[in-house]
Every structure is written in C-alpha cells, then in structure tokens.
C-alpha cells in the first residue's frame, strides 16, 4: 500500500477537494483505496457512504481499526473511509514517538487490503500530521493564490524537510495551485510569482476555482460525474490530478 498525504499550513485551500478526487480517481482506476480523515471532517461528510467501522483517532491506539476490505460497489476498485472524530483533538497529549509508532502499526495492519491510502491532514502543525508524514510515501500541498496561503509554503516545506530526516522515502509531489480564480488579476499575478520563486517545487497542474467542485463534494461524487457542461473543465483538472498522483506514487493501474 502506498501512502499519500495531502498537507498545507493554511485551511480553505482545497485540500479536501484534492484528497477526495484523488481517491475517486484511484478507485475508478481499479485500485483498492483507503481514505483517512485527520482533519475537521469535511472529507468524512463527502465520503460518508464509504465509511467503515472505527474512527481516525483509534489509529493512534493499540486497538487500531478493525477494517476488512471495502465492499465492491459495481466498479473495478473499492473505497473505504476512516472518518475524523472529536477525539483527534486529544492527540496533543500523546508523545510524538508513541503517535508515530501506533499510527504506523495501524496502517501496517491494513496494508495488505489496499493499494493506496490517501490521508487528509489539518492545517498547521500537529501530532497527527507529523505521524502521517512519518509513514507516507508522498505528500502534495494545495495552495490558494492568496497571500495568507502563499505565506504557508515556507512552513510546509520546513515540515516536509523535517519529516524526511526520519522518513527518507518521503517524496514531495509539489505545490499545487488550487482554487485559482483565473479572472482575478491579483491571483494570476500571485501564481506567476509563486512559479518564479518555487519553479522546481511546482506540480505541473492548476486547479481552478469552480463552483461545480463544491457541488459535487456536497453530493458525495467526483465532479466529472456531474451532468453539467460547467463541470467539464473541473472534471478534466481533477482527473489530471489523479493521474499525476498515481504515476508519481507508483501504484499499478
């Protein structure tokens, strides 16, 4: 099982949308996909129909999650969600080394059942994010083209570099321009500045600001399944994101 972490220091930058669509794309590509929500629960609401027994906080305990392979739903792959829960807030009281060990062991017990694990993490620093990066094969960082989000790039890179001292296999898949309003001169100027300042760190994709993405997430489906002309561009972008991630993490399709 390959493990992908979606991480950014700021909230509201499209992490949930990215994580959900990567998972949807991988499932449709025939993969067995496990999703772990370590954030506030938005991803859990989107993927509620795929929820399995157990909650995310239990991945940091000796009990872990007793999770059998997700049920097939008529498509080639399958998808299972370990939802966020309120007890994640208590991880602040858990020693980092213990959190990392328990989380790694919990995912290790599930590794034979899945091809890909997608982990959505909360903004800022925290025990859960550190534990996720400790076991991850790759991390991608969505960034909105606004000053407050761009300022978080440096902290995100420091976090990733620190994680790689303990987890040398961790690969950075890039800064992902997300929720980009192409009609905004300010955002386009910011995008050009970020590309100039971090050219070697950019993912070769741009995810636009499109209302169809939020609508699809509210219905618990990928945006390319919305029967609207306005969803076509968003669907193409999200499919490209899924293809990029799968090719980089090296899971068979």
What is the structure's pLDDT at 69?
47
Which of 53-57, 151-155, 238-242 shows the lowest mean pLDDT across its residues? 151-155
What tens digit of pLDDT does each residue of 45-100 get? 999 999 988 899 999 988 766 655 454 454 568 999 999 999 999 998 999 999 99
What tens digit of pLDDT does each residue of 16-49 get? 999 999 999 999 999 999 999 999 878 999 999 9
What is the structure's pLDDT at 26?
97
**Over residues 218-228, mean pLDDT:** 93
**Over residues 4-21, mean pLDDT:** 87
Sheet holding 116-121, edge to edge: 78-82, 32-38, 116-121, 2-6, 138-144, 171-178
Alpha-carbon distances, residue 65 vs 58, 62, 238 (angstroms):
6, 9, 30
What is the structure's pLDDT at 22?
97
The residue among 36, 40, 19 whose CA lies nearest residue 89 is 40
Q: How many CA atoms are closer than 13 Å to the CA of 188, on its beta-carbon side?
A: 5
Phi-psi region of 67 (alpha: psi -120 to 50; beta: other; left: phi over 0): beta
What tens digit of pLDDT does each residue of 165-222 get? 999 999 999 999 999 999 999 999 999 999 998 889 999 999 999 999 999 999 999 9
Alpha-carbon distances, residue 85 vs 37, 41, 98, 130, 137 (angstroms):
9, 7, 19, 18, 25
């Amino acid at each position: 099982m390959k493990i992908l972490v979606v991480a950014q220091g700021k909230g509201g930058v499209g992490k949930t949308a990215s994580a959900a669509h990567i998972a949807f794309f991988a499932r449709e590509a025939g993969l067995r996909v496990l999703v772990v929500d370590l954030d506030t629960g938005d991803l859990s609401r989107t993927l509620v129909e795929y929820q399995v027994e157990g909650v995310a906080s239990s991945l940091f305990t000796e009990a872990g999650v007793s999770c059998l392979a997700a049920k097939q739903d008529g498509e080639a792959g399958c998808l299972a969600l370990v939802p966020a829960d309120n007890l994640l807030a208590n991880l602040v009281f858990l020693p980092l080394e213990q959190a990392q060990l328990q989380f790694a062991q919990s995912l290790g017990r599930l590794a034979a059942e899945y091809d890909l694990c997608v982990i959505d993490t909360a903004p800022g620093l925290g025990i859960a994010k550190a534990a996720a990066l400790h076991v991850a094969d790759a991390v991608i960082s969505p960034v909105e083209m606004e000053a407050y989000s761009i300022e978080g790039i440096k902290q995100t890179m420091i976090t990733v570099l620190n994680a790689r001292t303990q987890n040398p296999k961790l690969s950075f898949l890039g800064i992902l321009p997300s929720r980009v309003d192409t009609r905004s001169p300010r955002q386009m100027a910011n995008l050009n500045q970020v590309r100039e300042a971090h050219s070697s760190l950019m993912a070769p994709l741009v995810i636009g600001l499109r209302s169809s993405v939020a609508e699809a997430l509210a219905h618990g489906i990928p945006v390319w399944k919305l029967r609207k002309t306005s969803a076509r561009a968003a669907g193409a972008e999200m499919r490209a994101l899924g293809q990029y991630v799968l090719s980089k993490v090296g899971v068979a399709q």
